[in-house]
Structure formats: structure tokens, C-alpha cells
Amino acid sequence: MVLGRYHTKAGEARITPPDQSRWNARNQWLEETLRATFLWRAPYSKDQPCTLSLMDVRFSDICGDSLRIGRTRLADALRPPVCEFPAMRDLASLAHDLSRLHHNSDSKLELMPLRLALIEGWKSTAPVEWSTDDSFYSHRGGLAIWEYEQCLMDVLEASSHQSGAPQPAVEILRYVQPYQKKMFSNRTFGALSAMASFFGLATLYWTFPWTLDEVALPLIFIGTSALLMRMYRRMSPPPERPFTMI
């Protein structure tokens, strides 16, 4: 909730358009530098404009209703940003810190309810237009791709220190490919929806002016398209679900 209140104030001070090409270029540099065996490019979800990002957010930065603005992390110095970031990146940073705390404490608590509480707390105080379902839509990046970046940055810092594999980042990255594979499989429904919509609209176009008999088939196609698209959106992994539970 404290982070959401900060973003509400930040949104009043500065908002700039999303910078998807530079966000993807940054991830590409991280992947190439780390010689990653997986690649992730995303068109990025809607409702993620840039604002005054904190860059790195930890639970240790929060005390009561106060939020400490700490130093930027080493990875940001190794690869100085040439772009601005959305509030979703700050939330991803805090969500990843939750994963660190959960891993280091050997907690028996389930991570998914903790993540849900974190996300819902942020949404309750963050700007409404930044916390929509579209902004968390995982098929287009959502929160997940920013958490992916946080894991890459952990590995980059560990490589620079030669301090060994950072956990839980390395463990999370093991699940990136299955996560992407599942989303790729889900896109079958999106493609079928587009095809059904095309056939329906094309049939309506070529049979104009319509009769009752001629309009029935294209309406079935269009209805099927809407149903398939609804299924496709519902198959998108919810933001509270960790990579490791895909």
C-alpha cells in the first residue's frame, strides 16, 4: 500500500509514454551478456506508462507509512538505463524481494497467497488506470516480464561479484522456458479466435445485402471467435502465480 501511494504521487508529477523498444533492448543486452539459453520479448501490457521509478524496492525500505528511497542496484550501474520505467517494474522489484525473503527464511507459508496480498495491497492505493487487468495481462508481459528482468539482474550482479548462483533467481529462471511454452500453447486459442473472426466478417462482407439464412453462419463464426478469445484471456497466468507454479 505504501508503494501504491508513492506511485499515485509520482503519477501526479510525471508520466511519459511506454518505451517498449528500449525495454526489450535492455532485456536483450542482459540475455546476451549472460549468454542466456532463453529469450523473452514482449509487446508489453497496456496501462504501463513510465513514471518516476524507484529502480530497486525492498521490504527493508518500508517502515510504517514511510518509504525510503535507496541506492540503485549494482546491475543498474553495470547497464545504466537509457529509458524510463513504469510503476509495474517497482512492483516487480518488491515481488522479487518477497521471493528472496521467502526462500531465505525457509518459510512453510505458501508463496502465492503472499504475492496476492502484495499485489492487492498495491492495487488498493496505486492509480486505478495502472492497476487494471490489462496492465497485469501476462500474455503481453504483465508483471511477469519485469520479474524476469529482476532475476536477470540478480544473475548479472552475482557474475560481477563471482559470488555463485543467486537464489531464488536461478531457480526461477529455470521455469522461464516452460512458462513461455505454456503461453505459446495458449496462443493457439488466440489464433483460432482471429481466424473465426476473419471468416465471419469476410462472409458478411461478401454476402451483403444479407438474408436471414446467409447471416446465420457468419454470426456463428463471430460468436465462436468471442468465446475463444475469452478462453484465451482466462488462460493467461494470474500475476500472483510464481513462475515455479506454472
Per-residue pLDDT reduced to its tens digit, 10-45: 999 999 999 999 999 999 999 999 998 888 887 888
Q: Which three cell numbers stand for residue 150?
A: 529482476
Which one is predicted more confidently, 202 or 13?
13
- The span from the CA of 78 to the CA of 160, in Å, is 9
- The span from the CA of 4 to the CA of 83, in Å, is 22
Per-residue pLDDT reduced to its tens digit, 211-240: 666 777 788 888 988 998 888 889 999 999
Among positive and negative, which fits the CA dihedral 18, 21, 24, 25? negative
Whether the per-residue pLDDT at 74 is higher than 90: the answer is: no
- The span from the CA of 167 to the CA of 96, in Å, is 11
How open is the CA angle 21-93-31, to the nearest 5 degrees? 45
DSSP 65: T
Residue 107 has what pLDDT? 83
Residues 232, 189: contact at Cβ < 8 Å? Answer: yes
Cis peptide before 242 (omega within 30 of 0): no
Whether the per-residue pLDDT at 206 is higher than 80: the answer is: no
Q: Which three cell numbers stand for residue 145?
A: 516480464
